[in-house]
Amino acid sequence: MNLLAEKHARLIKEEAARLGFMACGIAKAERLDDDARRLESWLNKGFHGEMGYMERNFELRVDPTKLVPGARSVITMMMNYYPTQQQNSSAPFISKYAWGEDYHDIIRPKLNELLAFIRANIGAVEGRGFVDSAPVLERAWAVKSGLGWVGKNGNLLNKQTGSFFFLCTLITDLELQADPAFSTDHCGTCTRCIDACPTGAIEGPAIINATKCISYLTIELKDSLMPSGFEHRDDNWMFGCDVCQDVCPWNRFSHSNSEPAFEPIPEILHLSKSAWEQLSEEEFRRIFKKSPIKRSKWTGVLRNLKAID
């Protein structure tokens, strides 16, 4: 056993915890051959819809050494976003991850701080942090680093905390002791997420047809109108969808986050559909300037509101 690699791994995990990450795992940086085959199959079926970026940079997505030359370790971290509050029953539903400030703006500085800590305490290290905005298969790395398994709903599941957390990675040329990969699927025969999906987007265990997924339809799809068959839904989801997570038995272990930036914007909890429709574009930009909801823009929000009855 490389005692220095073990010591450095322990030091990094302690700092990750101090920065507010709920878990940290480490895997050896290597090409994800099995995941590459699964991704290629998913793309060939057209399940990515108009998310053309999923097709680009394929090798970067499956091989961390293409992103960080000389990469030896992939550090994966989880950050809890589960809220204590609930939305008013008359409010259009918004995915819980978007209730507070944009997680990119919260997590990215923490990754930079972790990298600075590594350089200050270990030495000259090359590395790059990624949070859902670069060609990195975060869930695959989370499994390889022992943080959980990919459930039938396509989300990473953790026995202690469920699935309401963000994933991010730090790829580095530093040799670190790797954690054992997570090898057990604890979903068993449960099909609650598949049965509950409002649009039938889960076409098999961990096989998500994004073109049917409400999260894709309300966030990623930029068309001015909803596709045929999705124009008048009764699910009330305006931005994203949490159904497959809300029904998952493992999420009974979810606990409230401790990040002040994820405190819900009051309007998200309380505005009715009619109140949303009466907002001006200027008010929308002011209220949601730090929110992930701004990704849909005001025109997208209006389109989404029209699609729910």
| Catalytic sites, residue numbers | 132
What is the rounded distance in angstroms from the CA atom of residue 142 to the CA atom of residue 139?
A: 5
- Residue among 296, 103, 99, 271 at smallest CA distance from 215: 296
What is the rounded distance in angstroms from the CA atom of residue 173 to the CA atom of residue 155?
A: 28
The 3-state DSSP class for residue 149 equals: strand
Query: What does the block give as tokens for 63?
Result: 């091989």
Do the Cβ atoms of 22 and 78 come closer than 8 Å?
A: yes
CA atoms within 13 A on the CB side of 159: 8
What is the rounded distance in angstroms from the CA atom of residue 25 to the CA atom of residue 6?
A: 12
Do the Cβ atoms of 146 and 181 come closer than 8 Å?
A: yes
- Beta-bridged to residue 75, according to DSSP, are 26, 170
